[in-house]
Chain A
Amino acid sequence: MEKQIEISNLKKSFGKNIILQDINLTISKGQSIALVGHNGCGKSTLLKILCGLTTYQKGTLKYTQKLKFNYVPENFPKLAITAREYIDNIGLIEGLSKEYVAKRSEELFHTFFMEEMVDNSIKNLSKGTMQKVSVIQAVLSKPDILLLDEPLSGQDVDSQKVFIDLINQMNEDGVTIVMSCHEDLLLRTVSKIIYEIKGRNIHLSDKIEMKERNYNVMIFRKKMQETGEVKSEIQIDEFNIKRMIAKLEKNGNDTKLYVKEENSDAVLRKMLNEGYELRGMHDESI
């Protein structure tokens, strides 16, 4: 595979706060890479480093050829011009012909179900529609590398499908995709390689393993009615749900249950029926 970017021993910090350290990464033409990790772990920063939008303190970043990057930022700005004006301008700035921009933008507005909104100010559009404008500007022309920072945020389900098809088509046409995302849908349907940023470093993750590592975490507590005493021990053996629980953690009077997504409904129902109070629920990787 033809190499496009080589990063060695790269370090990035904001003041004294080190975000990324000893990053080694090679990106080759036609790859589809997803960067995952907790919020603030440095995914967006790494995307910006790749395209030269931010500096780094140590290490080297080498482009093996002159590359054209298109970029979908996480938060598209609330501009005062209309979506049509913006896309027309961007196309011309990019050096595309007026006729091509007009034709291609009409197609894309239609594909993303936003024909009726093209003459509204971008600042008046919903977050999802703004994200569609952001995607349209990035796919107006064919880049060498397409950088996507949380590209699905706020988009409706139909537009998400359109987006995924479009990105996969571009990838088949030789465009390298590098994206930062949390959505399982994108990890399953677009990415072929997943890197996890953890502890300031980047680790190659197994795609199947990655998917299986997502759990619903439920925090339960049961209050005894008669005495007011808190029952801290959850009898998962008695409830016949032991096999559905991947991990159990005690934290004071609360009990954390790590449950795979497909079992979470059954566990939740059982626990509520047994009189336990659900104090919180979120997704987590273990």
Chain B
Amino acid sequence: MKVMSLGGCTMKAFSSLIKYHYQLYVKTNKYIMPALIWIVFLNLSYSQKPLDIVSSTLLSISVLFFVMLWVAISYMESVDPVSEQILLLKVKNRNTYYRSKNVFVFMLGTAYSLIGIAFPIMENAMNGFSMFTRPLTIWDILCAFILHMLTAILGGTLGILFQPRCIKNRKEALMIVSLIALISIAKTGINHSFLFAKYVTWLFPPLSDISTYFNENVYFSAAAMGKAILYCGVYSAILLFISNQLLKRKLF
């Protein structure tokens, strides 16, 4: 039987890596606080009605960005460097190992996104479909899920870049990443206040830009969705590329 190959590593070995990351992660307490914060936020956010679908989604994805940043950083900090050294020698291709960790973070992002989507759908159903100012459509659900995934990946990749292997000084890393996250969410405001700020702020994650694309829209437009997917996709890919290069150069 031919086994699927993934960069010199079989699919079986890759799924074993994911299983290994999962087993270690669930035995730590690192997931409790971000998960709790996310659930509490969703509860509070959807405790009032009627809500605008687009703006409630934009608020939700902004919070998810911060939650996923926290999830990724705390997960990466929980990885033991010695156990990582053993694994890097066990896998046939080191990129496979790094990829497996990234995929695991994105899987956590998917789980958080699904919760972020399922929660309002259930609330809407329990409230006699009167949760929102207009009826919820499949397109709304699809767009909301994609936007949640995009910001989850964005927060996740930023967290991956600031892992201890890339930046050893943790105090410095956490201060810088917090500043980046704050600028990301406030960059539209900063650009309005300071004339030349846009020449610098474009470098920061496009969280605020997504909100701008859908600003005061009642419906999710396909064009805005396309722009959000493209910007976030390219940005996340660049962050992943940088972190991969740093991991290859810095080693242990």
* In the complex with contacts A79-B80, A79-B83, A55-B249 CB distance below 8 A: yes
* In the complex with contacts A54-B251, A79-B24, A80-B28, A71-B89 CB distance below 8 A: yes
- A window 208-266: CB within 8 A of B: none
Residue of B nearest to A98 (CB): B12
Q: Which residues of A contact B19 (CB under 8 A)?
A: 89
Interface status of B252 (Cβ within 8 A of chain A): yes
B23 close to A77 (CB less than 8 A):
no
B82 close to A93 (CB less than 8 A):
no
Interface status of A92 (Cβ within 8 A of chain B): yes
Q: Would you give the shortest CB distance from B172 to chain A, in whole angstroms?
A: 16
| A170→B216 CA distance, assembly (Å) | 70
- A window 74-98: CB within 8 A of B: 75-77, 79-81, 85, 89-90, 92-95
* In the complex with contacts A54-B251, A76-B82, A92-B24 CB distance below 8 A: no
Q: Which residues of A contact B83 (CB under 8 A)?
A: 77, 79
Interface status of B10 (Cβ within 8 A of chain A): yes
Interface status of B225 (Cβ within 8 A of chain A): no
Interface status of B42 (Cβ within 8 A of chain A): no
Q: Which residues of B contact A75 (CB under 8 A)?
A: 82
| A92→B12 CA distance, assembly (Å) | 7
B80 close to A77 (CB less than 8 A):
yes
Pick from A79, A85, A93: contact of B90, CB below 8 A.
A93
Interface status of A105 (Cβ within 8 A of chain B): no
Interface status of A48 (Cβ within 8 A of chain B): yes
B89 close to A55 (CB less than 8 A):
no
Interface status of B217 (Cβ within 8 A of chain A): no
Interface status of A113 (Cβ within 8 A of chain B): no
Pick from B10, B250, B251: contact of A95, CB below 8 A.
B10
Pick from A48, A71, A89: contact of B23, CB below 8 A.
A89
B20 close to A53 (CB less than 8 A):
no
User: Residue-by-residue, is B188-221 near A (CB-CB < 8 Å gives 1, otherwise 0)?
Assistant: 0000000000000000000000000000000000
B87 close to A93 (CB less than 8 A):
yes
| A54→B80 CA distance, assembly (Å) | 16
Interface status of B133 (Cβ within 8 A of chain A): no
Interface status of B69 (Cβ within 8 A of chain A): no
Q: Which residues of B contact A55 (CB under 8 A)?
A: 249-251
A77 close to B82 (CB less than 8 A):
yes
| A54→B247 CA distance, assembly (Å) | 11
Q: Which residues of A contact B82 (CB under 8 A)?
A: 73, 75-77
Q: Which residues of A contact B126 (CB under 8 A)?
A: none
Interface status of A70 (Cβ within 8 A of chain B): yes
A90 close to B86 (CB less than 8 A):
yes
- A window 35-71: CB within 8 A of B: 48, 51-55, 68-71
17 intermolecular pairs with C-beta atoms under 8 Å apart: A53-B85, A53-B252, A55-B249, A70-B89, A70-B90, A71-B86, A71-B89, A73-B82, A73-B86, A75-B82, A76-B82, A79-B83, A89-B23, A90-B20, A94-B90, A95-B12, A121-B27
Other 16 A-B pairs with CB < 8 A, given A53-B252, A79-B24: A53-B88, A53-B89, A54-B251, A54-B252, A55-B249, A71-B85, A71-B89, A73-B85, A80-B28, A81-B27, A89-B19, A90-B86, A93-B13, A94-B13, A95-B10, A95-B12
Q: What residues make up the interface of B, taking CB atoms closer than 8 Å to A?
A: 9-10, 12-13, 16-17, 19-20, 23-24, 27-28, 80, 82-83, 85-92, 249-252
- 9 cross-chain pairs, A with B, having the tightest CB-CB distances, nearest first: A80-B27, A92-B16, A77-B80, A89-B20, A77-B83, A93-B16, A94-B90, A77-B82, A73-B82
